[in-house]
Chains A and B, each alone.
Chain A
Amino acid sequence: MFWTAWAILSVVGDIVVWVFVGPHTPPGALTETAKSDQFDFNVLLMFAVPVLIGVWMWLAFAIRFWNVKRGGPDPVGGEAARNNKVAQVSWIGITSFVVLFLAGFGTWALVVDHGSGGGEGPNPVWSPAGAVKAETAAATGNSSWKVGEPLVVQVIAQQWRFTYRYPQFGGFESQQINIPAHTTIVFNVTSLDVIHDFWAYQLGVKADANPGINNVAYTETKGTGSFVVRCAELCGIWHGGMFNYGKVLSQSAFQNWASSTEAANAQNTKFLPAFSWTYYPSANGAGGGYYPAGNLTPYSPSETYGSATPAS
């Protein structure tokens, strides 16, 4: 009786959750990465629902039926009440199996999805095709981006804002982040001061920004759309105010935005430190004009920094 009810409720629960909840679970499906993180989440839900239902039902049963108010004979002690081989062995067996399966599944998802959008440190072991080549080229400071190739974006966090450098576009630095659709994006995340965390929610990307360390994360965009960037590691007083918005543009719109920003910013870019994977903070550093140095004010005010983002 109990187990039949449990089986039915679990199947129904799983179907309902998969069909009605699944499409809305985070982080959505703006990128391939987000989509597969969402798939993972939903798979875990499929296991969670029967477990929750089973234990809750059991507790409800206990409250309703195994209650002293219902009278009946006293429970009998002794070996039968202390141990039940079948129950114990199957409990341990089933939980072990589920756990091992989930660990295996998580590992598989992590590997095939090139780190699932998480920070993979300076030398990622699981990277998408072409990413390493694009990075190596970008490091020289004079590569350029062509449609279809991975785009390298450097995320520089500091108290309390993010700026973005585009090494394939002359290394200009912007407070806006725009990326092209249907493209592999290589994020190189670093910090100038304390630890921050670059969390692009809808992209399914999260990577800590450590000072002096290049933390790489990948995503593969699909269609156009917009996303929020929030700092997800406590970085001091204004941590709560450290966010901005970005866009996934069509490839040609992106190309236009990036090239025109590159041109508009050329006079500022030449005062920036040469593109590199990490920076030490300095008054004249890579901070997007946040700490302009003395009477040398090479940066435009933040409002006019970069070109206006096209609608999509």
Chain B
Amino acid sequence: MTISAERPVDVVAGAPSLPVSKVSWTQRPGWVSQHLGTAVVMGFLGYVFGHWLGNYIASGYTYVQNTGQNNIADTLALAFMVLGWLLGIGALNYPLLKIVGREPAEEEIPIKHWSRFFRFSLDHKVVGLQYVVGVLLFMFTGGLLAMAVRAELLSPTFHLFSADTYIKIVSEHGTVMMMMATSIIVGPLGNYFVPLMIGARRMAFPRIEAFSFWIFTAGYMVIFAALPYGGFPTGWTGYAPLQTQAGPGMIGYLLGFAVIGTGMIASGFNIGVTIINYRAPGLTWNRIPVFVWSILATASLLTLATPVLFVGGFLGLLDKTVQTAFYVNEHGGSAYLWQNLFWFFGHPEVYIMALPGFGIAGELLPVFTRKPLFAYKVSAAGMMGVALLSFFVWQHHLFQSGINPDMRPLFMLTTELISIPTGFIYLVGLGTMYKAKIRFRLPMMFVMALFFNFLIGGVTGVFLSDVPVNVTVHGGFFVLAHFHYTIMGGLLFAFMAGLYYWLPKMTGRMMNEKIGKWHFWTMFIFFNLTFFPMFFIGLLGQPRRVFEYASNLQGLNDFASISAFLLGVSFIIFAFNLAWSMWINPVKAPANPWDSLGLEWQTASPVPHDNFERIPVIMTDPYRYGEPDAPAFADLGVAVGSNSHEA
């Protein structure tokens, strides 16, 4: 038996208990309670207070002499804004009450009203949907910035933006997108579906889960606060000493990553613990769905790699505010230190942005091929292997830097070794398709596209890891094309597959298939037309992050730009489809629209507050497609026919 999902009731009967609060302010209905509005107010007050405090304790302590620019005030303002935001939404009620010796109100009444989506909710399903909106917000703002980047690159010499504005747009685009990509699947789909797929009633730490979402939104505000602060010129990699030299916008970057990083650690920790401890009885390690494997692998990376980023950002903030010199060569620090810290996090990060996509592909394939997943154990081993190896490759980003040059063969080897477990995913995918009867519904089309795109991303990754070839391609558009192929072509396509597949469960409404097809084809075609030419642009010598380029490359650049605008249109089609299918013309989803055997589809729709009437007992392997006599995956303990989703 696994640990029960109930929280332990009383420890010792008759023991004195702490005074209990009567009301849960986060779940109190009506305006007089804690919700987005109070968070905004408190965030604003926090900002004002932090700014005042910074000026009070450190006025005149400016980074650049006589500019009146007080980085301490700017930093504290944003830090207190985050604190105020968290206080306002109620994320800190529980620990604060505990500290002052009171027992927080326990049995909160779960609000049924739509306003629950604007509150600190302990229901993993509400958090999942909140995350959907959150990541889409990130994605669309980041996408707008991408349009600006491509617009500037239409001409090698005529400039829409100043060189200064341009580099800040590129930096903001990259950073926002990377922040979004850390959570795009784990946040919405991981939080929503992991408990359902492992037969749990909730996450292990619902408060930490809700906290991770609300601090994610705070991170969004901080990274965008960089723009009114003047932006930052370093790209998403934030290299020192440029970092040290940059203006106060850099604070938005450093603090933004620290804030987002806190959320990443929290959510990775919570999800990892949940998967390990909250599996339903019978759900042994060789029975958990591959999506859960991928989320587990991702969660371990989130928990283990992100602290390094946090520390790196923190040291950078110290350099900028109290003028330490961690990254300043002249004063005993080292600019290499940042590069090491950043990429020690940064490479696991790129697998944080790949593994959940593999998980979705593996999860959806059996459903749409009507076959069991091929080589299940290999796929689990592949994902865990990737996660482990990803900690040993970070210096492949620094082949030309002069750090540790003698170690280049080692890092070339480890990097290329990663393509072995990554290749497992293709073994699994192609093996499952073999002689199947594939149903080309929308989610499956996105999965096929993922296999197509990620292949290009992966093969070019081997080129990058080869040191002699790296001499030519490092720092150029080849890299840019490579990682857009893996992140956008892989992760974002997987996210779309997941949305089309699971939104019916999450919202009870089907996504429109016709508009969806338009969305798919425009996204697939224009994604490839945008990024494939960039390999050539890079091979022909165009470095990344430049506002001017050789005039003979204008043709290719214009082609990429125009395709990029059309790619932007495909996202508008997607947004339209969302609006159309969810609100304008909703069509009720059947209980199990894809004939899936997955546990998440067996519970009632809409999912009851506690997910399952009784904790299910897992009877067999997942994915027993093609075996009509196979027992059901789980025994839900409910008499046949009384299943509430029929009603």
Contact = CB atoms under 8 A, between A and B. Distances in A.
Interface residues of B, number: 90
A267 B103 CA distance: 82
Given A37-B471, A77-B372, A99-B417, A237 B164 contact: yes
A99 B461 CA distance: 12
Contact of B431 (A36, A48, A84, A215): A84
Given A120-B405, A121-B403, 15 more contacts: A27-B471, A44-B462, A58-B430, A62-B433, A66-B433, A74-B437, A77-B371, A81-B371, A99-B417, A109-B467, A109-B468, A122-B402, A211-B241, A211-B335, A232-B543
Interface string A222-240: 0000001011111111111
A273 interface: no
Contacts of B242: 194-195, 234-236
Interface stretch (B57-65, B203-211, B472-480): B472-480
B405 A125 contact: yes
Contacts of B335: 195, 210-211
Contacts of A211: 241, 329-330, 335
B364 to A, nearest CB: 14
A83 B623 CA distance: 13
Interface stretch (A10-18, A87-95, A300-308): A87-95
Nearest to A36: B468
Contacts of B630: 77
A17 B283 CA distance: 50
B451 interface: yes
A16 B304 CA distance: 46
Contact of A41 (B424, B465, B469): B469
Interface in A81-136: 81-84, 87-88, 91-92, 95-96, 99-100, 102-103, 106-107, 109-111, 113, 115-122, 124-125
A56 interface: yes
Interface string A14-27: 00000000000111
Interface of B: 163-164, 166-167, 233-235, 237, 239, 241-242, 245, 329-330, 335-336, 369-376, 378, 399-406, 408-409, 412-413, 416-417, 419-420, 423-424, 426-427, 430-431, 433-440, 448, 451-452, 455-456, 459, 462-463, 465-472, 474-476, 539-541, 543-550, 624-627, 630
Interface stretch (A171-179, A197-205, A250-258, A291-299): A197-205
A51 interface: yes
A206 B241 contact: no
Interface string A136-172: 0000000000000000000000000000000000000
A116 B399 CA distance: 11
6 contacts: A44-B469, A67-B437, A106-B409, A118-B468, A215-B402, A240-B547
A37 B163 contact: no
B596 to A, nearest CB: 15
B417 to A, nearest CB: 6
Given A41-B472, A110-B467, A207-B400, A193 B245 contact: yes
A35 to B, nearest CB: 11
Given A232-B476, A239-B546, A77 B452 contact: no
A113 B419 CA distance: 25
A55 B465 CA distance: 21
A55 B370 contact: no
Nearest to A95: B423
Given A96-B420, A240-B547, A116 B467 contact: yes
Contacts of A116: 467-468, 471
Contacts of B545: 234, 239-240
B402 A232 contact: no
Contact of A106 (B405, B435, B466): B466
A119 B408 CA distance: 11
Nearest to B377: A83
B430 A207 contact: no
Contacts of B434: 62, 66
A62 B448 CA distance: 10
A118 B470 contact: yes
A74 B370 CA distance: 8
A67 B439 CA distance: 7
A120 to B, nearest CB: 4
B248 to A, nearest CB: 16
Interface string A183-223: 00000000001110101010011111011110100000000
Nearest to B626: A77
Contact of A62 (B164, B408, B438, B469): B438
Given A113-B468, A232-B476, A237-B163, A25 B539 contact: yes
Nearest to B401: A208
A2 to B, nearest CB: 10
Interface string A55-66: 110110011001
Contacts of B420: 92, 95-96, 99
Return the 6 tightest CB-CB contacts between A and B, nearest first: A77-B626, A240-B546, A232-B475, A215-B402, A116-B468, A77-B627
Contacts of B436: 62, 66, 75
A52 interface: yes
B374 A82 contact: yes
A235 to B, nearest CB: 6
B466 A102 contact: yes
A162 B145 CA distance: 31
A106 B239 contact: no
B375 A193 contact: no
Nearest to B449: A59
A5 interface: no
Nearest to B476: A232
B423 A115 contact: no
Contacts of B539: 25-26
Contacts of B546: 239-240
A4 B100 CA distance: 75
Interface-centre pick from A70, A232, A236 (highest chain B CB count, 10 A): A232
Nearest to B455: A55
B119 to A, nearest CB: 41
Contacts of B412: 103, 106-107, 110
B245 A236 contact: yes
A205 B472 CA distance: 8
Nearest to B538: A26
Most buried by B among A78, A81, A111, A194: A81
Contacts of B452: 56, 59
Contacts of A40: 466, 468-469
Contact of B235 (A99, A194, A199, A234): A234
A193 B246 CA distance: 12
B245 A55 contact: no
Nearest to B404: A121
B448 A240 contact: no
Given A27-B472, A81-B371, A233-B475, A66 B400 contact: no
Given A74-B626, A194-B242, A210-B336, A125 B406 contact: yes
Contact of B405 (A103, A107, A121): A121
Given A37-B469, A74-B370, A102 B462 contact: yes
A62 to B, nearest CB: 4
Contacts of A48: 459, 462-463
Contacts of A206: 400, 471-472, 474-475
